A and B are shown apart, each in its own frame.
Chain A
Amino acid sequence: MSLIHLTINGNKQTLDVPPMKRLLDVLREDLHLTGTKEGCGEGECGACAVLLDGDLVNSCLVPALQTNGTKITTIEGLSTTPTSGTDPLLPIPCSLLPALHPIQQCFLERGGAQCGICTPGMILATHHLLDKYPNPTMEQIQEGLAGNLCRCTGYMRIFESVQQAAQQLVVIP
């Protein structure tokens, strides 16, 4: 076992885990952050993508030891501000729910998410893409998301979601 100090979604954590344990499993099993999904488990599909010190990585290919001293952002960390008001369709007050990040909101509005397995990775890949290219061309969007496979949407709605997010985001929160 190895002691790992890292910051997850802004919270400092110390973990005692096997050093070769995949970051994906640390997130899901040790930290119960199950928003990060396992798809292929071999770096091809991007479902497990997270941000490691701001860089998009596939968490299935990162051993726990290599996260020592790093900052990790998962899908749970994108939206931190509670929503205000109430929604009659929800069984709990909105203040108990995190607000959607603008990228999430755009995926919701444009039908960029269907079954949802690829969605957390898609949204983090989009975040990474818009950090680099605030006004991406279609080619840049396609390349930036080439490592994220979706079997539902046919991708066009995802590309439209990204384009809408780019229009709405001047500076990424």
Chain B
Amino acid sequence: MRSDVSQFALTAPPSLEAVLTTLAQDPGQHTLLAGGTEIMVALGVGRLTQKSLLSIHHLRELRFIGVDDNSIHIGSGTTFTDIRRSKAIAADLPLMAQSASWTGSVANQNRGTLGGNICNASPAADTPPVLLAYGATVTLISKSGTRTIPYADFHLGYKKTALRPDELLHTITVPRHVADYRHYIRKVGTRNAQAISKIALAAVAKLDGNIISDIRLGAASLTDRPVRCSAAEAALLNQPIDASNIDATVRAARAALATEAHPIDDIRSTAKYRAAVAGNLLEEFLRSLSV
């Protein structure tokens, strides 16, 4: 049943400072509303439990893409359309440009923000596997200061994050120097356009001859949260991928991935399918390195 909209309070504080002050005054009492592509869906079907919302979509200070020698810094209010238009992201972070292109439709990309995609904390979200594979960090801001943590430490459980009730996700920082890495991303959904993932894998790997000298894997819908596949990474580090060894390397990697895959049955897919296809995606990536 649809919600009674008169039961919800929504205000637009004039500045980031004002938002942080309000969050600090009544921590946990307010929910931030950016592009609305999640919260307004919950409102529409009567599932929105938070009664007091703060709009942050107008805050220009959260909407930026900055480039320095080492990193690309993306404000949490940056929309997927902004990401797709960025030449720097297209050049240095192709997996991010790719995942932005299949995050919802054009209309949703015009509204949906990177920060919202992360903080909504869906295990199936499109951007998190990319940020995990790229080794991103996130900067959280509150009235009492800022802190920067590895993005791999941000998701603590199903829809649980490291954000304190008085904190706001300010910046996502992604290292730029992955040009000598091989990149891979694949999302498996019911159809190509604006599907929610059954399973997705993003990967980067560096080769030293035929040896994998560095590898990072991020997955969606593999566990109760977006997850870095550290067991598979450990099984692959310093392993050979030449023609005579690739089969053994793939077997070991699939076995390791199976130990950290804890998918669920839901309306979109089954746990069995997800675990099997996650292994297939990893194998597809490894065999592409071997060619």
Contact = CB atoms under 8 A, between A and B. Distances in A.
Q: From B40, B44, B57, name the one whose CB has the most chain A CB atoms within 10 angstroms.
A: B40
Interface stretch (B2-10, B16-24, B61-69): B2-10
A128 B106 contact: yes
B57 A66 contact: yes
B9 A63 contact: no
B84 to A, nearest CB: 11
B106 A22 contact: no
Interface in B1-52: 2, 5-6, 8-12, 33, 35-37, 40-41, 43-45
A41 B45 contact: yes
Given A56-B107, A147-B106, A63 B55 contact: yes
A42 to B, nearest CB: 4
A44 B43 contact: no
B58 interface: yes
A18 B5 CA distance: 7
Contacts of A62: 36, 40, 111
B40 A61 contact: yes
A119 interface: no
B268 to A, nearest CB: 14
- Which range holds the interface residue count of chain A? 20 to 34
B193 A147 contact: yes
Interface string A69-93: 0000000000000000000000000
Contact of A58 (B8, B11, B58, B108): B108
B53 interface: yes
Contacts of B55: 63, 65-66
Contacts of A63: 10, 33, 36, 40, 55
A66 B194 contact: no
B111 A20 contact: no
Contacts of B12: 65-66, 68
B8 to A, nearest CB: 4
B45 A43 contact: no
Contact of A44 (B5, B8, B40, B194): B194
Contacts of A120: none
Contacts of A20: 5, 8-10, 43, 53
B230 interface: no
B175 interface: no
Contacts of A143: 106, 193
29 contacts: A2-B10, A18-B6, A20-B5, A20-B43, A21-B5, A22-B5, A41-B44, A42-B44, A43-B37, A43-B40, A46-B105, A49-B107, A56-B107, A57-B111, A58-B108, A61-B35, A61-B37, A61-B40, A62-B36, A63-B10, A63-B55, A65-B11, A65-B12, A125-B106, A144-B106, A146-B105, A146-B192, A147-B193, A147-B194
Pick the 9 closest A-B CB pairs, nearest first.
Answer: A147-B105, A146-B193, A19-B10, A61-B40, A20-B8, A55-B110, A42-B41, A41-B44, A18-B5
